[in-house]
C-alpha cells in the first residue's frame, strides 16, 4: 500500500469528474483527527456541531471562534493528510465581509486548516467571493442550516415544496459562481440533491441529502453512539462505542468497590533496603 499524500482541491474536483465518492466526517479533537487520518478520510470538518456533541448545548449557536480555533489546532495535529475545514461559527461572518475574511484567515493561520465552511446562499455570496479572493477555499452549506434554525422553524427537511427546492438550486448556482469549491447539502430531498449534483461542476456533499451527491458527511458522534441526546434519521451508527464505554466504566467502578483494582501489576515498588531506611527516618 502506497503512503498517503495530502488531499488537495484539484484531487477533490477530479473525484467529482471521475465519479469517485468523497468521504467526509466531523472531528473535534486530536484522537479523532488521528483516527480519521488512519482511515484515509478525504475531508474532515471541525464543525460548530461541537457545541452540541462536545459541549452539551442544545444548538450550534454558542460555539465561538476561540473554541473552534482551539479544536482545529487539535484536529490538525493529528490529521495531516485529510483536507481539514474549519466551520465558521454563528456571527463570525454574517455581520460584514471584512469580519468574514478576517475570521476565515484565522482558521488558516491559527487553526492550520485547509479551508472553511459557512452557511447561506445568495445572502452570503459576497462573503464567499471575498474569502476566496483572499486565497481561502470555501465550502458552502445549504438546506438545513443550523445557524438559521429559528428562521427555518427548527430542525426540518428543507426543499420539500417546489418553490423552496428552486431556491436551494438557485443558491447552489450562486455559491458556485462566487467561487465555492464545494457545497454541503443538509436534509434536502434526494431528488433535489440529485438535480443540484448533476448541474454543478464542483463536488456536492450530502448530510441527509441522499445517495446521489458526490460524497457523504456524517457527524462522528452520531456514527459511534457518542451523542445521547438524539440520533438524526439520516445517521447510520457503525458501532455503539458509547455503550461500550458505559460498560467499561461500570466494570471499573465495580472492581474499585470490591478491591479488585488496582492489582500489584498496576503499581510501583520501592526497594526493600530503601523502605527500611524510610521506616528508620520515621521513627
Confidence class of residue 122 from pLDDT cuts 50, 70 and 90?
Answer: very high
The CATH homologous superfamily to which domain 9-239 belongs is Phosphoenolpyruvate-binding domains (3.20.20.60)
Q: Residue 140, preceding bond cis, omega within 30 degrees?
A: no
Question: Which pLDDT score is estimated for 71?
Answer: 98
Confidence class of residue 2 from pLDDT cuts 50, 70 and 90?
Answer: low
Q: Residue 36, preceding bond cis, omega within 30 degrees?
A: no
pTM, full prediction: 0.95
Question: Which pLDDT score is estimated for 80?
Answer: 95
pLDDT averaged over every residue in the chain:
96
Across the range 174-203, mean pLDDT stands at 98
Is residue 74 pLDDT above 80, yes or no? yes
pLDDT digits (tens, 9 = 90+) for 228-251: 888 889 999 999 999 999 999 999
Question: Which pLDDT score is estimated for 157?
Answer: 83
Q: Can you list the alpha helix ranges (DSSP code H) found in 149-260?
A: 149-152, 162-178, 190-199, 220-223, 241-257
Is residue 186 part of the annotated active site? The answer reads yes
pLDDT digits (tens, 9 = 90+) for 85-94: 999 999 999 9
pLDDT digits (tens, 9 = 90+) for 128-161: 999 999 999 999 999 999 898 777 666 678 889 9
Catalytic residue among 37, 98, 186, 243: 186
**SS3 for 273?**
helix
Across the range 93-120, mean pLDDT stands at 98
CATH 3.20.20.60 residue ranges of the chain are: 9-239
Q: Which conformational region is residue 40 in: left (phi greater than 0), alpha (psi within -120 to 50 degrees), or beta?
A: left
Question: Which pLDDT score is estimated for 1?
Answer: 45
DSSP-derived secondary structure letter, 55: T
Amino acid at each position: 500500500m502506497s503512503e498517503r499524500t495530502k488531499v488537495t482541491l484539484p484531487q477533490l474536483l477530479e473525484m467529482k469528474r471521475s465519479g469517485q465518492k468523497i468521504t467526509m466526517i466531523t472531528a473535534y479533537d486530536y484522537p479523532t483527527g488521528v483516527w480519521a487520518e488512519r482511515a484515509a478520510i478525504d475531508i474532515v470538518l471541525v464543525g460548530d456541531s461541537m457545541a452540541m456533541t462536545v459541549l452539551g448545548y442544545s444548538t450550534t449557536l454558542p460555539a465561538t471562534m476561540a473554541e473552534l480555533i482551539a479544536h482545529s489546532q487539535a484536529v490538525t495535529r493529528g490529521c495531516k493528510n485529510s483536507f481539514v475545514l474549519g466551520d465558521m461559527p454563528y456571527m463570525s461572518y454574517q455581520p460584514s465581509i471584512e469580519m468574514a475574511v478576517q475570521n476565515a484567515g484565522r482558521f488558516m493561520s491559527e487553526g492550520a486548516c485547509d479551508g472553511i465552511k459557512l452557511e447561506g446562499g445568495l445572502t452570503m455570496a459576497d462573503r464567499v467571493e471575498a474569502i476566496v479572493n483572499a486565497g481561502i477555499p470555501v465550502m458552502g452549506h445549504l438546506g438545513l442550516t443550523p445557524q438559521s434554525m429559528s428562521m427555518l422553524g427548527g430542525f426540518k427537511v428543507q426543499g420539500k415544496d417546489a418553490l423552496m427546492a428552486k431556491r436551494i438550486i438557485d443558491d447552489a448556482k450562486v455559491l458556485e459562481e462566487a467561487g465555492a469549491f464545494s457545497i454541503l447539502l443538509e436534509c434536502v430531498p434526494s431528488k433535489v440533491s440529485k438535480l443540484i449534483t448533476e448541474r454543478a461542476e464542483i463536488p456536492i456533499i450530502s448530510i441527509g441529502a441522499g445517495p446521489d451527491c458526490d460524497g457523504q458527511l456524517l457527524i462522528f458522534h452520531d456514527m459511534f453512539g457518542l451523542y445521547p441526546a438524539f440520533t438524526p434519521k439520516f445517521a447510520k451508527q457503525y458501532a455503539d462505542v458509547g455503550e461500550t464505554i458505559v460498560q467499561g466504566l461500570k466494570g471499573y467502578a465495580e472492581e474499585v468497590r470490591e478491591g479488585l483494582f488496582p492489582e500489584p501489576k498496576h503499581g510501583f515498588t520501592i526497594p526493600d533496603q530503601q523502605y527500611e531506611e524510610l521506616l528508620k527516618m520515621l521513627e
